[in-house]
């Protein structure tokens, strides 16, 4: 299963990129270390309560060193958002090409989505306010989130078409799935009772059970209709 943590030797200790023999680490590895450290700081203290001086101190470098990798704190927040979102985008790209039912393919996306939200980048992906970003970066965030939403809707529609998913409104189902997964960032903290993989497995089970077709008395999958508010009120009258 895809992991949201880049395969580099400084993932657990980003500051190690500037220590000992690792001082000559390539630019990309050190930039990843800056972004990872910023994500952890934003999660612990909040965006507005974290300065570039704090991030530099956590890495054991000077503030000008941070500017070598990112131009400002706003861009750093955006890079944290991208780092968390990319595994989900990659999962959707794989799902588009994978064999199997829509439900099977969506299952893998849901799991990778949950792992990403439970990573150190989850806060930046969900809890960072759009007003912390300027118009250009804010528009990019909205565009990328729309891309994820459209990808999930396509998989839901595929599952509806092939009978592996019971819902009849992929838009509402996509909102429900994203809402449940995004909420992980509000309560999950690594190192406590559950691991990110355990959280992901639990959410896959919960959400997949809700998507599964129900069987009729004849053993035929039954679709659950979505009632409009007007129909619902009429039924109560």
What mean pLDDT comes out for the span 132-137? 89
- The first and second tokens of residue 228, run together, are 């409009």
pLDDT-derived band at 149, boundaries 50, 70, 90: very high
- 155, 106 contact by CB (below 8 A): yes
Q: Is residue 213 part of a domain?
A: yes
Q: Provide, rounded to the nearest whole percent, the portion of the chain with pLDDT above 90.
A: 54
For strands 214-215 and 221-222, give the pairing. Answer: antiparallel
pLDDT in tens, 37-92: 999 999 899 999 999 999 999 999 999 999 999 999 999 999 999 999 999 999 99
In this prediction, residue 233 carries a pLDDT of 32
| 237 Cβ neighbours under 8 A, 6+ residues apart | none
Q: Is residue 3 part of a domain?
A: no
Number of domains in the chain: 1
Q: Is residue 1 part of a domain?
A: no
Domain containing 211 equals: 14-236
Strand partners, 221: 215
Q: Is the pLDDT of residue 2 over 60?
A: no
Q: Is residue 8 part of a domain?
A: no
Q: Is the pLDDT of residue 236 over 60?
A: no
Q: Is residue 65 part of a domain?
A: yes
Q: Is residue 191 part of a domain?
A: yes
Q: Is residue 2 part of a domain?
A: no
Q: Is residue 6 part of a domain?
A: no
What mean pLDDT comes out for the span 108-136? 88
- Pick from 94, 229, 76, 106: nearest CA to 178: 106
Find the CATH number of the domain harbouring 157: 1.10.357.10
């Amino acid at each position: 299963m895809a992991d949201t943590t880049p395969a580099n030797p400084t993932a657990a200790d980003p500051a190690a990129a500037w220590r000992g023999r690792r001082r000559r680490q390539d630019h990309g590895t050190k930039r990843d270390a800056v972004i990872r450290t910023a994500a952890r700081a934003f999660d612990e203290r909040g965006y507005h309560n974290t300065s570039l001086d704090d991030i530099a101190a956590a890495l054991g470098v000077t503030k000008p060193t941070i500017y070598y990798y990112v131009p400002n704190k706003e861009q750093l927040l955006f890079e944290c958002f991208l780092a968390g979102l990319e595994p989900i985008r990659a999962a959707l790209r794989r799902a588009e090409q994978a064999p199997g039912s829509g439900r099977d393919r969506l299952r893998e996306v849901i799991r990778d989505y949950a792992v990403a939200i439970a990573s150190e980048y989850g806060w930046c992906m969900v809890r960072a306010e759009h007003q912390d970003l300027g118009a250009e970066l804010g528009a990019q965030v909205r565009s990328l989130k729309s891309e994820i939403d459209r990808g999930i809707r396509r998989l839901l529609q595929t599952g509806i078409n092939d009978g592996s998913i019971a819902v009849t409104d992929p838009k509402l189902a996509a909102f429900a799935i994203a809402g449940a997964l995004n909420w992980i960032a509000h309560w999950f903290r690594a190192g406590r009772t559950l691991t990110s993989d355990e959280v992901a497995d639990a959410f896959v089970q919960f959400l997949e059970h809700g998507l599964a077709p129900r069987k009729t008395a004849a053993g035929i999958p039954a679709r659950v209709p979505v009632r409009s508010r007007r129909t619902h009120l009429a039924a109560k009258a």
